[in-house]
Amino acid sequence: MPAFICTTCGTQHAMADAPPASCAICADERQYVPPSGQGWTTLERLRGSHMATIRREGALLGIGTAPGFAIGQRALLLRTPAGNVLWDCVSLIDDATVEIINALGGLAAIAISHPHYYTTQVEWSRAFGSVPVHLHAADRQWIMRPDPCIALWEGDAKPLLPGVTLVRAGGHYPGGTVLHSAEGGGALLTGDLLQVVADRAHVAFMWSYPNFIPLGAAAVRGIAERIAPYRYDAIYGAFWDRVILSGAEDAVAHSVARHIDWVSRTDAG
């Protein structure tokens, strides 16, 4: 039986003879079902119509898909002396990508920021010997393909490898997670929980990006408080080139203040 993939968000669902009636992730107000209706594909079909793209992204390696598919994010490969971590996922995984990552030392773990990027997480895990996929337990209801490889964690922080920590930032999803790497000046890998915007000097905080619903002031203060203990000079967003390579802490502080100011105004008409 195939495991059908939603063409709007890229999430792979449990194996079935026919596609699900709907994708729960897209039916949620943080995502959307397009006017054309729910669409489905499979990994086999995707491998025939798309190809993986791999290139350097700052100090990391980015893994994307061409032509763009679903939300269009790219994953990141964080290489450490204790093992490699795949941060976030894309729907397409192929033999060439697996061969390249194995040549770089394989994977010790996979960690994902939030449900929009769960995609084919089970396929990625199995391709590298069923490595654990670390997801925050607060978002367990959005796991569309349960599997023993999924390792749920709780609380506000989880050490993953030496110098690598998962931090529950919250905001976009209750279990929304960022990854902190302490190497060098430090880096935050944030998906779109703290989304690097076009000027690459600020970040954005949204409840729903496609529906343009911003987070409220209290939620943004909570994100700022939970990441405050961690030092970082760089921040990596969810999409190609959305990276701030230096001065990221100051950029986040300014962005937090700016966001709270605007959503708190009563004279912005």
Contacts of residue 157, defined as CB under 8 A and 6 or more positions apart, other chains included, come to 165, 166, 167, 168
Domain around 259: 5-264
Query: Per-residue pLDDT for 268 more than 70?
Result: no
Residue 46 lies in a domain: yes
Q: In percent, how much of the chain has pLDDT > 90?
A: 98
Residue 269 lies in a domain: no
Enter the pTM of the model.
0.96
Encode burial over 223-241: b for 16+ CB neighbours within 10 A, e otherwise: bbebbeebebbbbbbbbee
Counted domains in the chain: 1
- State the pLDDT confidence band at 1, using cuts at 50, 70 and 90: confident
**Residue type, position 216, single letter:** G
Round to whole Å and give the CA distance between 27 and 136: 21
Using DSSP's 3-state secondary structure scheme, residue 185 falls into coil
Query: Per-residue pLDDT for 189 more than 80?
Result: yes
pLDDT digits over 235-256, tens only? 999 999 999 999 999 999 999 9
Beta strand 133-136 with 150-153: parallel, antiparallel or unpaired?
Answer: parallel
What is the crossing angle of helices 217-227 and 248-264, to 10°?
Answer: 160
Query: Per-residue pLDDT for 266 more than 80?
Result: no
CATH number for the domain harbouring residue 140: 3.60.15.10
Contacts of residue 252, defined as CB under 8 A and 6 or more positions apart, other chains included, come to 194, 203, 224, 227, 235
Residue 219 lies in a domain: yes
pLDDT digits over 82-94, tens only? 999 999 999 999 9
Residue 260 lies in a domain: yes
CA-nearest of 81, 74, 130 to 104 is 81
